[in-house]
Structure 1
């Protein structure tokens, strides 16, 4: 208040946090516990991070990603000479960097890199902050396509090549799930008939269903999410009980993508709209009654324009 902090020398905690892909709370903890705080002062007396401070923080973060405990990483970073060459990160394909590739059109590349760094650091507050901000700014569909999917896919590629990052993938998936669950369900849904979301039998990758449920909620549509590994008879029972306007079934892997059982699902009057999505499906064998969708936005549009809508 009354000043222009952006013109003061050095960087504030928020700017450094964004640069490193960490939560500001993490930097304050590193300052309090390990003495890795700002050493500079602005003319107004505010603590500011100097370039040397930021270099030490980057070194500490790099060492933590390589497996060092935070205390040891802080000590080594303080003793590392300025301008010292960086040691190779980790091993395998790309060390501890996430191969996120080129973000989709319209995505914020810096935002994607920040979430990837936070995920590799297992920094839950920073991950939550990045995902919540993206959802609040652009909605679930844009945040899913432009931020969450690129990072999740990059971590998946890293695991496929070197068998690494299982803990990173699990933690990030948990954080994504929690953020999606925060999207409020509509108090007065647009849809008169229910919408049912389910995974194919034995399919355990249910995260895309939670993204669809959250995106539908933002669009004013309430959905019933049955989750992973839904047997055909259980889905059939849900259809008979609820008389849904739309049923969406997800298959992530080829092992769960045989669609022969879809033709045996019961119809209702008026007829249920059956949608399938995911890379696991054998599209050439989908029944004619099944509409295949290729994106989250298309799934939302199909459900909004189908008989589930008023």
Structure 2
């Protein structure tokens, strides 16, 4: 089989495949091509652009330099000079062609490589780094594309636990250790995470509307504004066909209680990010509310979620430790009316 028949190694890789492997967006690659000439050396009219091994090496060097803080224009010049040197060396008879990103090559018909969306720790770490670097560059398009790609590849649950949450924690630690230097980065990242999660929720509901069953009520306690974990839980639950009522951040006590009495939820999930918002008396009160006809009265299961609860527990309250734990617990509860 020759290189043309294989259509992958010899012909190069597409912009989309290269972008995913480098952890940047296709828009960024096209912008670098337009502004700095960092594009495929060979172009075929009427076909998608294909990046050769040498093209890939050049762009990888560009990513390496910009990640170190080198200005893009300067990094582009250095990357092109480096690529020219590599090309000169390759022209020598004894020189070996470098393969800095051999794994980028698209699969041929006679091979069975690991699919791009197969969950693996290295791939999760690569996606985390890609999203974080895009956020630090304030590249909103790349942040959005990479978060969306992670959700589409793994589903909301795995994307949240293995990619999105670790990236948020990493940026948060960077902010805390730098005298609030990266506040804008955290805000940009959080906003795009929220957009992607809500889009995943809306897409699922539009194609697979949950049945009219007792809902699961989600709410942040008063003065608690951290809603992203509950937004992720909302998207995961609707993927599993559960009906969800998400009330959002800093919900007044009276509103939570009124909703419990009005809709009789199968479960109530209360999020607390900090100890100052963790209100155990309120949770016990909600767990004690009962409804139904005499002889068959029932109540909602109450789940305490988030780091604000610490190690506190209660015989009447459930304390899952992660998103997957929470989903597992909720799936044990009957949702029929």
The two structures have a TM-score, normalised by structure 2, of 0.72
Structure whose residues are more often helix by fraction:
2
Matches within 5 A, 1:85-234: 107-122=120-135, 123-163=139-179, 164-183=181-200, 184-185=204-205, 187-190=208-211, 192-234=213-255
- Is 1:255 aligned with 2:276? yes
- Is 1:238 aligned with 2:285? no
Distance 2:284 2:49 in 1: 66
Task: State the shift of 1:119 in Å.
Answer: 3.1
- Is 1:301 aligned with 2:328? yes
SS at match of 1:7: coil
Q: Is this contact kept in 1: 2:40–2:50, CA < 8 A? A: yes
SS at match of 1:121: helix
SS at match of 1:203: coil
> Which of 267, 278, 289 is the matching residue for 1:267?
289
SS at match of 1:182: helix
Note closer, same or farther for the CA distance 1:176–1:67 as it changes in structure 2 (3 Å cut). Answer: same
Distance 2:5 2:52 in 1: 19
> Which of 305, 319, 322 is the matching residue for 1:277?
305
Note closer, same or farther for the CA distance 1:69–1:226 as it changes in structure 2 (3 Å cut). Answer: farther
Q: Is this contact kept in 2: 1:115–1:127, CA < 8 A? A: no
Q: Is this contact kept in 2: 1:64–1:121, CA < 8 A? A: no
Aligned length: 286
RMSD after superposition: 3.2
Note closer, same or farther for the CA distance 1:80–1:112 as it changes in structure 2 (3 Å cut). Answer: same
Deviates more, 1:110-119 or 1:202-211: 110-119
Q: Is this contact kept in 1: 2:124–2:162, CA < 8 A? A: no
Q: Is this contact kept in 1: 2:224–2:273, CA < 8 A? A: yes
CA deviation profile, 1:30-78 (whole Å, cap 9, x unmatched): 2123222122579xx9865455544543454455456666445535654
Matches within 5 A, 1:64-83: 64-65=66-67, 70-71=72-73, 73-75=75-77, 77-78=79-80
Equivalent residue, structure 1, for 2:8: 6
Distance 1:32 1:167 in 2: 28
Distance 2:151 2:72 in 1: 31
Q: Is this contact kept in 1: 2:217–2:245, CA < 8 A? A: yes
Distance 2:262 2:149 in 1: 38
The structure with the larger Rg is 2
The two structures have a TM-score, normalised by structure 1, of 0.78
SS at match of 2:327: helix
Q: Is this contact kept in 2: 1:107–1:147, CA < 8 A? A: no
Distance 2:220 2:274 in 1: 11
Q: Which 5+ residue runs of structure 2 have no aligned equivalent?
A: 87-118, 292-297
- Is 1:30 aligned with 2:32? yes
